[in-house]
Chain A
Amino acid sequence: MKRRLITVIDVAIIVFVVVFSLVFSLSLFKNQGTVAIVSVNDNVKYELPLSVNTQKTITTEYGYNKIVVKNGKISVLSADCRDGICVSRGGINKKGQSIVCLPHKMIIEIK
């Protein structure tokens, strides 16, 4: 079968794929946060990049919060606060989202 090297449709496909990946990356970076700021009593304790899997335990006079960064999301794994709202909040990774633990005065915010 005779085939041409490159046709107009081929160029259209290439342009489509490149534009698609550009749009995809733009939508990815617009909402995706890059760093999580963990603060207690308005004092910044940690700035955790979401790209690195880590685990931190924050112990204060109020109690402890075990924070975990995994697969680009940050969540509170366990805590000894009375309501456990921070744990039930689950993982967050979008800009502006936050996890608040009122009893421990701890805030995790995605920037």
Chain B
Amino acid sequence: MKNISAKRIAIYGLLTAVAMIFGYVEYLLPLSFIAPGVKLGLANLICLYLICLDKNHLALGINVVRILLSALLFATPFSLLFSLTAGIFSVIVMLFAKKFKSLGVVGISVVGSAVHNFVQLIVANFTMGQGVWFYLPFLLTAGTVAGALVGALCFVMLGKTKNITKYIQFN
């Protein structure tokens, strides 16, 4: 915790707040008619953005804080178990995927979304039984579309903020 400046605290707070707002926006979009638990994954946009900016620790940290705070506001302890495990695993896998230079932003995002769905179903398998695997094809297909969308959005965001990111002190 040494050398933690007010600027850094402000940036971290801002990023967490934006991630939570995105989380709230996707909470308002009812996509659950496709399969239970389908969502856009907009909250992941900030995480992906930070990964693409090489702020690896920040990506994981902000994602965990965002999930904990959102759970405090909207969710139950039960759904926290799902979102936290899936959130952590998908970030870790996206960080690995980033090492492959031949992957684009969309690719990293799609891999992250697929891992997210898998981990959630594994957790659901233990808490609700094997019947949940029935949803895997729906979740994977919807997740791929959503992941590609978020990846494209992130690419646009990276382009738009290209000129200011170098002035922002991330860490």
Contacts and interface: CB of A to CB of B under 8 A. Distances in A.
Interface string B131-151: 101101110110010001001
A83 B4 CA distance: 73
A3 B110 CA distance: 15
A18 B106 contact: no
Given A1-B52, A21-B136, A71-B130, A9 B107 contact: yes
A28 B131 CA distance: 11
A79 to B, nearest CB: 24
Contacts of A20: 140
A21 B140 contact: yes
B137 A13 contact: no
Contacts of B141: 17-18, 21
Contact of A5 (B110, B134, B137, B152): B152
Given A9-B100, A17-B144, A20-B140, A71 B107 contact: no
Q: Name, among B106, B129, B130, B141, the residue most crowded by chain A CB atoms within 10 Å (CB to CB).
A: B106
Contact of B102 (A1, A9, A18, A22): A9
Given A1-B54, A28-B134, A13 B140 contact: no
**A-B interface, 4 closest residue pairs, ranked by CB to CB distance from nearest:** A10-B107, A25-B137, A21-B137, A21-B140
